[in-house]
Amino acid sequence: MKIEFFKYQGTGNDFVMIDNRQETFDKNDTKRIAFLCDRRFGIGADGLILLESHPKTDFKMVYYNADGNQSTMCGNGGRCITAFANHLGIIDKKATFEAIDGLHHAIIEGDLVKLQMQDVKTIEKHDHHLFLNTGSPHHVQMEFDLEILDVKTEGSRIRYAAPYFKEGSNVNFVKKLNDDTFLVRTYERGVEDETLSCGTGVTAVALAMNYIGETEKNLVTLNTQGGILKVSFEKKNDQFTNIWLIGPAEQVFKGVL
């Protein structure tokens, strides 16, 4: 069976995108999903995303990591699937869709896609890091020499260490550039490597930096290796609401499986 696929990227975070409204794609074939994400033997991507029908929203997002396993929320993936839905004619400039962590709203403004993230009510502050869940679990720690840090080695060590163990956490390393701008590098579980960008990761970083007083701004710029993302939010009593992840999302190519 031939299946049309599309390749999308958002600040270097790339995804194989498939319109599965007819439910023709085998979602249980994890080996095939991993093969499609393989950069040498398959298409190559950080993850695979299925766009499916939903009875009450514009569409449903089903996300798989590059290892073939269904995963938690992907922020850049959510922005890319919004652009994909626009390409398919499902939406115009606004969308409401269901993901694994609940409903999301999205807005397309020119070349940018803005994705509303779930509220964050709890941030754990430890001696050398913070931990929070922005749809996916994220470890956040500051690093002075971030440009030369071996992110894959250090991220892998933390990802499997206590208290994360097998389930693991994504790991974000952060360097402050000025009052509202931070450099971010992320090790993603499921990809098991550094990615050029991580949407839920930069969201976690923006909130964490505000939480500990490294920035007082509620619009934060995050510089990743794949490009620039912005996160806006409202804060009250150390809880964060109305969180938006903002950045580009574009179609790279399409093909047939």
Ranges of each domain in the chain? 4-107+249-256, 124-248
198 is catalytic: yes
Cα–Cα distances (Å) from 40 to 11, 16, 34, 35, in that order, read: 21, 14, 11, 9
DSSP 63: E
Among candidate residues 74, 117, 196, 202, the one labeled active-site is: 74
| 124-248 topology per CATH | Diaminopimelate Epimerase; Chain A, domain 1 (3.10.310)
pLDDT for the residue 40: 96
Cα–Cα distances (Å) from 39 to 4, 14, 34, 188, 212, in that order, read: 18, 11, 10, 16, 38
pLDDT for the residue 157: 96
Query: Cβ distance 11 to 255 under 8 Å?
Result: no
Length of the chain equals: 257
56, amino acid identity: K
Q: How much is the pTM?
A: 0.96
pLDDT for the residue 53: 98
| 4-107+249-256 topology per CATH | Diaminopimelate Epimerase; Chain A, domain 1 (3.10.310)
80 is catalytic: no
**Tens-of-pLDDT digits for all 257 residues of the chain?**
899 999 999 999 999 999 999 999 999 999 999 999 999 999 999 999 999 999 999 999 999 999 999 999 999 999 999 999 999 999 999 999 999 999 999 999 999 999 999 999 999 999 999 999 999 999 999 999 999 999 999 999 999 998 998 888 999 999 999 999 999 999 999 999 999 999 999 999 999 999 999 999 999 999 999 999 999 999 999 999 999 999 999 999 999 98
Among candidate residues 198, 202, 207, 208, the one labeled active-site is: 198
Report strand pairing: 13-19 vs 59-65: unpaired
Question: What is the distance between the alpha carbons of residues 241 and 9, in angstroms, rounded to a whole number?
Answer: 26
pLDDT for the residue 101: 96
pLDDT for the residue 167: 85
Residue 53 has a CB neighbour count (10 Å cut-off) of 13
